[in-house]
Amino acid sequence: MVKHLPDELWLDIFEMAVEDSDFFEPVLPTTFSESTWFKNLLGVWTLRVPQETINNAQRRSMFTKKAIMNTCRTWRRLGYEFYYRSIFCSNPWNIQRLCGLMDRNSELGQRTRRLHLHPYSSTRPWPALEVIQHSLVSIIRHCPKLEIFIVNWPLSVSFSTVANTLCTSVPHSLRVLQLNIPTHALAKLIYMLQCLPNLQTAQIEFDGSPPEQMRLGAAGDLELTLSSLEKLSLRGPFQDFIDQAIAWHLPSLKLLSLDFINYREDFPDLVEFLTEHGSELTFLDLNCIPPLDVPTILDLCPMLTTFTFNPDWRIPDWENHPFLEMFIVHQPHPNITTIGLNHLMYAFGVGYAATYNQVDPFVTHSIQRMNDVNFAAINKRNFPRLQRIRVLNTTLLSDLEKNNGPSQRCYERWERWSKQCQREGVRLEDCTGATLGTLPEDPEDEEEDDDGSSLTDVPPGSQHLTTLRELLLECRKMNAQRELDVPSPALQMIYASGSRSS
């Protein structure tokens, strides 16, 4: 069967089977990338965050590619085109093996467009950091067409070497960059960004407490021009980065995500940053604990369609506003269609908040009061084009699932918010994209239609892809059986001599 089909047809079939076309888009997960429910081995419902979903999709794709490569010689020859164009590695030992393969065959790296290194927990000891660094640098040098480079474990002492290699080996092809670097490596990061003119998406996580005095040297005087940068995501103590980027030229910036985690001190001047770079933003995600001046921020970003903030904030001067439900804006924002809500841990009396309420009920009541005030201000009067509000906190949704909904004391708040959204014609969602309050159900509890099939929606084309995977598996089995049925050359000689003697 393999010999009867042209290579072009097999390549089209493999293209559909490996399902990796989305991996080459210059995007990374955002707070609005939907989480999914799944049951773990203990039978407990658990939320899978978007990054885990992407990692699982990459693993499935790699399994399919391995099946193609191991089926027969023809498929192996054709499969090289797919196997090495997107590399996902969660085992540090495999970095060395991959380096050895590319050292022996330099053509393999010519196909690589995406390199994603993701850590996993293992009882096996990791190789020395210097060994991983040497192998990683060698792999980058073998991949001159690399477009997407993602490393999800911290690059401590190795960041400088990796940055130098990216700047010298793939400065013009690299479009997506995701790194975890120490805070004191800011100067090196600035130099690296200067050498990547075609970078479109950058997601940087800063690790460790920032030094009391950041020493940037000549990097502190650079005014970068990142003409192609459209999406910038920062996480951790990135205050010094923001202060430096105020003077940069970022004409294409459309998406900005800032996650301060638990840092509350030495905040950068976000208003000044948005004064310089906010006019063309369409997506702004602000995740921090200290309150910000939301009305001023919205004025500086007139093109926003998506905005997230922390409804626990006590927005300045809200008590003195003559119209309480309008304090969140100076004037109605004309373009925002989607608002995301971070935190909200105290709103529904579940999880940690339920325990803390017994310790300090006054604090809990104060935060819930601000939740109500801020939510009431998210209306069509302030946001005429508003279509949906999404609660983004995955921990909150997990606590709601464990408690089977909000506590009895907070159920009235749940209903009041839902009724407000119904009156406004706005969809109230959770982090999975479902209506807030839609908790997962076991398959046996779901309704079934007349033919006994589940009412759960099936993604378009999934049945065809399942059939294709089954076909690939059957082809692999057939080829394996064929190899068993064909005698080896030695056995053929024995059979031949036996037939002649008879």
pLDDT-based confidence at 475, cuts 50/70/90? low
Query: Which residue type does 306 have?
Result: T
Supply the mean pLDDT for the chain.
84
- With vertex at residue 337, the alpha carbon angle to CA 375 and CA 201, rounded to the nearest 5 degrees, is 110
- Which residues, including other chains, have CB under 8 Å from residue 63's CB and lie 6 or more apart? none
Query: Which residue type does 167 have?
Result: C
- Give pLDDT tens digits for 85-144: 999 988 877 888 899 999 999 889 999 999 999 876 555 566 666 678 889 999 999 999
How many Cβ atoms sit within 10 Å of the Cβ of residue 482?
Answer: 12
The reported pLDDT for the residue numbered 442 is: 64
Residue range 276-299: mean pLDDT, rounded: 95
Both tokens of residue 305?
A: 């369609």
Return the exposure string of 81-97: e unless at least 16 CB atoms fall within 10 Å of the residue's CB, then b. Answer: ebbbbbbbbbebbebbe
pLDDT-based confidence at 496, cuts 50/70/90? very low
> Where in the chain are the domains?
7-18+33-88
> What backbone phi and psi angles, to 5 degrees, belong to 433?
90, -5
- Give pLDDT tens digits for 151-208: 988 888 789 999 999 999 999 999 999 999 999 999 999 999 999 999 999 999 999 8
Task: Residue count of the chain, please give it.
Answer: 502
DSSP 8-state code for residue 326: G
Query: Could you tell me which residue, 90 or 273, shows the higher pLDDT?
Result: 273
Q: Is the pLDDT of residue 500 over 60?
A: no
Query: Could you tell me which residue, 326 or 488, shows the higher pLDDT?
Result: 326
Whole-angstrom CA distances from 95 to 80, 87, 117, 496 are 18, 10, 9, 48
Residue linked to tokens 């309704």:
447
The reported pLDDT for the residue numbered 208 is: 86
pLDDT-based confidence at 470, cuts 50/70/90? low
The reported pLDDT for the residue numbered 213 is: 78
> What backbone phi and psi angles, to 5 degrees, belong to 176?
-130, 130
The DSSP bridge pattern shows strands 306-309 and 201-207 to be unpaired
- Give pLDDT tens digits for 299-358: 999 999 999 999 999 876 656 554 556 678 999 999 999 999 999 999 999 998 888 878
The reported pLDDT for the residue numbered 492 is: 41
Query: What percent of the chain shows pLDDT beyond 70?
Result: 83
pTM, two decimals, is: 0.84
Residue range 36-45: mean pLDDT, rounded: 84
Cα 327 from Cα 307, distance rounded (Å): 16
The reported pLDDT for the residue numbered 267 is: 84
Cα 342 from Cα 286, distance rounded (Å): 8
Coil, strand or helix at 497: helix
In 346-440, DSSP assigns E strands to 388-391, 427-429
Cβ-contact 379, 325 below 8 angstroms? yes
DSSP codes, 227-295: TT--EEEEESS-HHHHHHHTTSB-TT--EEEEE-TT--SS---HHHHHHHH-TT-SEEEEE-SS---HH
Cα 98 from Cα 84, distance rounded (Å): 10
The reported pLDDT for the residue numbered 246 is: 96
Q: Is the pLDDT of residue 482 over 60?
A: no
The reported pLDDT for the residue numbered 127 is: 64
Whole-angstrom CA distances from 11 to 22, 62, 79, 80 are 17, 16, 8, 11
Which of 27-36, 48-57, 456-465 is predicted least confidently?
456-465
